[in-house]
Amino acid sequence: MHEFPHNEQLRLNVAIILDSLLIQSHDSDVQKEDLDAKISAWYTCLGHSSDEKVKNSANYIRVSRYIRQNKLDAAQEVLDNIQDENDIISALPDKLMLQVSIYLKQGKADLAALELEKALFRETARVQRLLSQLVDAELASGKKDVARAIAEKASAMVDVFDMWEYSRYTAYYQLVAKEKDPNTELPLLEQMLKALSTPWKLTDSILYHRMSPETKELQSKEMLSIILKELETDPDCAYLREHPKWKELIAEYKA
């Protein structure tokens, strides 16, 4: 960053990486407040960038950080100033569909299918996030049965849309984690860790086989490492670490 002080995309990427590491750190020697202030200043500066992509990315992250810090008024202020693209393009034809139509007219059916595969991949991931948030919202409103029914729908998406097996369990885990019962939570956690350890090949999917060659292999090992570290250090998981099967499970997947 000293070498390229005006490269905003570089600064944004560095801020995101350091922000993520700071969240995961439970080291008492880390000066979190100073580092957080530094990262926050970067995001604020980038939130006024002339590059719309950088500006929007930084401001979306600022909103998420303020929510995490329970600074809800600040979060709302930034959110209110983010331009909603849906308001701008709602009256226009969908750009993707227009591009697909052009490709088909040009006889480029494979390119049309590739663009549709990538869009479907993005949208299914978005729907999963929406369902996950809906589970949390229903749990917060005390409607546990409704939350469970929504988690079942999130799980069913995995088979319908050839999604990552890990996604089958995430919404259920939100339900189980609220109960803080290791006897229920650990078996589900084991299924999730197993899914993380199992390669997921897009080439096996009829929905995404074209995009497979240009998609980097999912970094499940890195994700597994982060989750294991979180489970071992997060104070909220202390009740799990007291269970007799805990050490055996963690040792297996660390190996």
pLDDT mean over 210-221: 65
What gap in Å lies between CA 239 and CA 235, rounded to an integer? Answer: 9
Nearest CA to 36 out of 71, 83, 76, 78 is that of: 71
Rg (C-alpha) for the chain, rounded Å, is: 21
Say if residue 240's pLDDT is above 80: yes
Structure confidence at residue 87 as a pLDDT band (50, 70, 90): low
Structure confidence at residue 85 as a pLDDT band (50, 70, 90): low
What number of other Cβ atoms are within 10 A of residue 233's Cβ?
Answer: 14
Nearest CA to 211 out of 142, 120, 105 is that of: 120
pLDDT mean over 55-70: 88
Please state, for a pLDDT cut of 70, what percent of the chain lies above it.
92
Q: What is the pLDDT of residue 91?
A: 47
Query: Could you report the per-residue pLDDT of 174-183, keeping only the tens digit for each?
Result: 988 888 888 8
Calculate the alpha carbon distances from 162 to 189, 206, 233 in Å.
Answer: 21, 8, 33
Say if residue 22's pLDDT is above 90: no
What gap in Å lies between CA 255 and CA 251, rounded to an integer? Answer: 6
The per-residue pLDDT of the chain, averaged, comes to: 86
Please state, for a pLDDT cut of 90, what percent of the chain lies above it.
44
CB distance 32 to 25 below 8 Å? yes
